[in-house]
Amino acid sequence: MTSAPRYAWSIPGFPIERPSGDPQQPEIWCYTDEFAYSPGDPIDLHVHTTADTYDVSVMLDGARPREVFRAEGLPGQAHETPDDAYAVGCRWPVALTIETDGWESGFYLIVVGMERDGRRYEGEHFAVVRRAADAEPAPIALVLTTSTLLAYNDWGGANHYRGLGDDPYTDIPTPLSAVQRPVARGMLRKPDTAPRSANPHTPEPGELPRHPAYEWAMVHGFSRHHADAFWATYERHFVVWAQEHGYRLDYLTQHDLHHDPSALDGYRCVVFVGHDEYWSREMRDVVDAYVDGGGRVARFGGNFVWQVRIEDDGHTQACYKDPALDPLRDSDPTLVTTAWDAPGLQRPPGSTFGLSGLSGCYIRYGSAASRASGGFTIYRPNHWSLADTDLGYGDVFGAAPVCVAAFEVDGADFTMHRGLPVATGSDGAPDNLEIVAMAPATRGEIDRWGGTVPLGAPVAEWGGLVEAMFGQDVPDRFQGENYGSGMIASFTRGDGEVFCAGSTEWVNGLRLRDPYTEAITHTVLRRYAGRPAGEGDDQ
């Protein structure tokens, strides 16, 4: 890859991207006003650079990337940037307007570049283009996880996890995340060899656990959160796989769902991929209405946890996490930004996707279930999704080093009956939930090394969240040992149907061409959307 802009460095060693104020530093970043556009909408591009001139390239990304726009020799200009740009946006002026007439629905990667002292420096952003209003819908709508992107994007110095305060070792999050700022390095593009948050290496006896994705980020100057969210780690791999197999997709964002109740109208199947942790109430409303009306949802993702609010005409995401800190805690408890499992929200997560992030949690992430198989164990081999896979009861697929059941997984409270897992419904899971496969998970990392080993997800964080939600009235399902389960499950709702492969890393099975992961994905998509082009049936 080409060289990246230089950064201000935080004491722990992770780069913090923001303008330095030094014109001698080679810096270039950009952002767009919105995440998604309709064909023909102009894209206003905002650029900060210390170069005299720069260039812009726009690429339709996917299995066969194609450049659709290029401009060179553009006059560069550096701009003042608010210290809290992560919360309020950068407020840079428009540098360039890009016309989108005739653009097809897709994910467009925007790259800005500069030259200095014989080296090239680049920054990137993106724009999603929806289908034209008068166009026939594709069989499948892929909804990109823009709310989870906002939660992890630490460009400017902070995100919904850390960045505030003078002590760099204290993880104080910002409750507000701005749309109008650049995206942290590694979330939109990076080498395919970059480590993922799931560790494919099985530690030897006595070997200390590691977080290879963090180590790689420190060495190569990428965001600490490069592997935690969005396109380069998750959706892009699904798109490449789907396009190579002839599936036709339209593209939307979670923000489209938030703003447009009719966003999913006309689609046979709606797909969510990877890490879709954060949702607004309005986004869930659209998915629920779609399924009730006969739609079919294929969720190849995990970690469904948080309610957010989309504010400031869609330009700011609010997530306070601790209900006591949210300014709406007294006026409207149902809109408080905390985990969906919180009783005040009156909307258990299982009612939409069947599974919950807090009932699952971590596998092969640091010391959390570090020697688990990394795959799913089959419990209902006769389920329709396993047709023609030759998988039987007790079989495991997608195990390490593929690790399809890894990083963050979703599950449901369950009991075993005659060798089969059955959802109890205590967490709001549907009565007709069929648990197809499972993988043991833990709700965080336990320090067994006296503070000498970094923990990416200490179990105390999970305990603090549960205490903030429930106080002294912690439900039975969250008491006792800190264990959960990743699950594959399905259920019907209204006239529709939902299939949930509850793991952020399902897409890695497609990336690495695991035959079982591919076969199950094909079966789900064919049942929900029809056969892809070239397989005999028209889409």
Q: What is the pLDDT of residues 29-60, one digit of tens each?
A: 999 999 999 999 999 999 999 999 999 999 99
**DSSP conformational letter for 92:** P
Instruction: Pick left, alpha or beta for residue 321 (phi over 0 → left; psi -120 to 50 → alpha; otherwise beta).
Output: left
Secondary element (H or E) of residue 124:
strand 119-129
Q: Please give the pLDDT value at position 398.
A: 98
Q: Are 13 and 218 in contact (CB under 8 A)?
A: yes
Q: Are 523 and 300 in contact (CB under 8 A)?
A: no
**Given this model, what pLDDT does residue 10 score?**
42
Give the CA radius of gyration of the chain.
22
CB distance 296 to 497 below 8 Å: yes
Long-range Cβ pairs for the range 135-138 (8 Å, 24+): 135/105, 137/250, 137/266, 137/267, 138/105, 138/248, 138/249, 138/250, 138/267, 138/539
Instruction: Give residue 166's pLDDT.
Output: 67
Cα–Cα distance, 106 to 224 (Å, whole number): 27
Give the whole-angstrom CA distance, residue 486 versus residue 302. Answer: 9
Instruction: Read off the DSSP letter of residue 469.
Output: H
Beta bridge mates, 252: 143
What is the DSSP code (8-state) at residue 529? H
- Predicted model pTM: 0.95
Strands annotated E in 239-283: 249-253, 269-275, 278-280
**Would you state the pLDDT for residue 251?**
98
* Cβ atoms of residues 225 and 277 within 8 Å: no
Closest CA to 509 of 362, 394, 376, 359: 376
Q: Is 488 helix (H, G, I), strand (E, B) or coil?
A: strand
Fold of 8-13+27-140: Immunoglobulin-like (2.60.40)
Dig out the tokens for 333 from the structure.
Answer: 């408890």
Residue ranges covered by each domain of the chain: 8-13+27-140, 268-529
Q: Which residues of the chain have pLDDT under 70?
A: 1-13, 166-170, 536-539
